[in-house]
Structure 1
Amino acid sequence: MNTATSDADHVAEHYIAVWNETDESRRLKLLETHWADDAHYVDPIMQGSGRSQISALVGGVHQRYPGFRFALKGRPDGHGDQLRFSWTLGPSGSEDLIEGTDFVQLEAGKLRSVTGFLDKVPAGA
């Protein structure tokens, strides 16, 4: 798959939608639509394999940071089946507190693996 800029935008938007979905059943539907069955997620503080584990990770973020929302920061960049983009996380209507950059590998148009990096994390977050 050759990831054009518009494809990169769509993949990143679907990714952010998963992280913003607070309802577990709707989140699992998004994961089924846009993530491979055996997708893998890892960042410096958590990791999971498969849609159920990844959904649970997202649910944990919502429990720890109720009312926080993810947003894309800048434009996603795609090359072949690889994609990278940055994001922010913060309370709705307030300054973002956390920022990160994720590297995504696609397989047959679905997210196969995600490696996340935390670029900005305030003390105690």
Structure 2
Amino acid sequence: MSANTDRYESAVARYFEAWNAREPQARVKAVAVAWAADGSYTDPLADVRGHEQIAAVIAAAHDQFPGFAFRLTGAVDGHHDTARFSWELVSEAGGTPSEGGSAPVAGSDVVTLNAEGRIKDVLGFLDRVPAGA
């Protein structure tokens, strides 16, 4: 594995730590570790900048889908300062999708990293979204 691959995978791991942080203080800390201070997050439902606003978007996702967690699906791919990956939202209780074990939410994100490997920008794409979201 190359040093660059490690860089992308480490950044994405920190990204998921932030998205899966349940407690507000842990979430704030994880966002600060993953994102640059002026970092942004943009998807079809949100367009925010800065740690406080990013943490608020993550909190809203937890409020909408209690008991679910974000997980990586597939490999992280990257070049230069950009990485892409796919994810899904799954029940922490387990189970299969037909048993209600998985929320029908999935997407792909593209992140741009700064020189320190922290996220500058996220462009998120939602591949599956439940009705009314």
* Shorter-chain TM-score above 0.5: yes
Is 1:117 equivalent to 2:116 in the alignment?
Answer: no
The whole-number CA distance in structure 2 between the counterparts of 1:34 and 1:12 is 8
Identity of aligned residues (%): 40
AA in 2 matched with 1:8: Y
Q: TM-score, normalised by structure 2?
A: 0.86
Q: Which has the larger radius of gyration?
A: 2
The whole-number CA distance in structure 1 between the counterparts of 2:22 and 2:48 is 18
The whole-number CA distance in structure 1 between the counterparts of 2:44 and 2:77 is 22
What is the aligned-residue RMSD (CA, Å)?
A: 1.5
* Structure 1 residue aligned with 2:108: 101
The whole-number CA distance in structure 2 between the counterparts of 1:95 and 1:66 is 12
Q: How does 1:1-125 map to 2 (within 5 A)?
A: 4-92=4-92, 93=94, 94-108=101-115, 109-125=117-133
Which segments of 5 or more consecutive residues in structure 1 lack a partner in the other structure?
none
CA contact (8 A) 1:73 1:88 kept: yes
Aligned residues: 124
Q: TM-score, normalised by structure 1?
A: 0.92
Moved over 6 A (4+): none
Which segments of 5 or more consecutive residues in structure 2 lack a partner in the other structure?
95-100
